[in-house]
Amino acid sequence: MMLQVAVEAAKVAGKYLKQSVGKIKTIEQKDGSDRNLVTEIDKRSEEMIVEIIRKHFPSHEILAEERGSQGSSKTKWIIDPLDGTTNFTHGLPVFCVSIGIEHDNEIIGGVIYDPNLDELFTAEKGKGAYLNGRKMKVSQTQTLSKSLLVTGFPYNIAENPNHAVERFVNFLMKAQAVRRMGSAAIDLAYVACGRYDGFWEVALNPWDMAAGMLLVQEAGGTVADFHGGKFSVYQKEILANNGHIQNEMLTACHIQNMTSKAESKY
């Protein structure tokens, strides 16, 4: 029942997003950053999603990007009403709606809807992952050198948090190719369906990852932190892949002595 409600909410909001391209009236900057944007479209999409969830589950907790946390319950809905806002403001058709469902501190359901391609990614804990109703599996690429990877950069990339630049260079040198799409949720969905072999990013929020991490796991992939430890959507870093390239990706994430080597040049 909850997954069906998530699907309904994601499709309603996704249709609204697609119809709203090019119709933005206000663009605001969040956290004082020129790069972290929010529009009235983000906010209205979130309202639509929350209204649908509240209609069915009025007592459940909501954690949404624009309104933060509301309520207290064993069940929590983790919502990104428009993942890829910068793309959206430029009319680039790479954005989506992401809804994760958490129960007793475990993600049990996830929906990502890309209205531009009409692609609906869904997963339930222990029941597999699906793209438009067809079961998904991660890729079978065996080595990093033959892998197509995807990543994203934090809004404060100029500060190089958590060695984001060095890690990017590491992967760029070791992988077949690296892409950057501007939507972490879509990145994870694409790992789940085998379009990408792996994904990493250094500074994300729960609503960026909740649905996508479950998609990857239910499609047979691996999700961990940069040390190979147990993953939580409440930490900032994520490393997701098809499982075959896990060890090589962990090695590429290793940045020991990187700072000292860079400083030794001066």
Percent of the chain with pLDDT over 70: 94
Domains of the chain: 2-135 (3.30.540.10), 144-259 (3.40.190.80)
Torsion sign over Cα 169, 170, 174, 179: negative
Each residue's pLDDT tens digit, 154-194: 888 888 888 999 999 999 999 999 999 999 999 999 999 99
| Angle of the 206-218 helix axis to the 184-192 helix axis, nearest 10 | 0
Quote the pLDDT of residue 261: 38
- In the predicted structure, residue 102 carries a pLDDT above the cut 90: yes
Q: What is the DSSP letter of 217?
A: H
> CA 234 to CA 154: how far, in whole Å?
16
- In the predicted structure, residue 35 carries a pLDDT above the cut 90: no
| Angle of the 40-56 helix axis to the 2-20 helix axis, nearest 10 | 160
Containing H/E element for 202?
none
- On the 0-12 / 13-18 / 19+ scale of CB atoms within 10 A, 255 is middle
- pTM score: 0.92
Torsion sign over Cα 174, 180, 186, 190: negative
Kindly report the average pLDDT of the chain as a whole number.
92
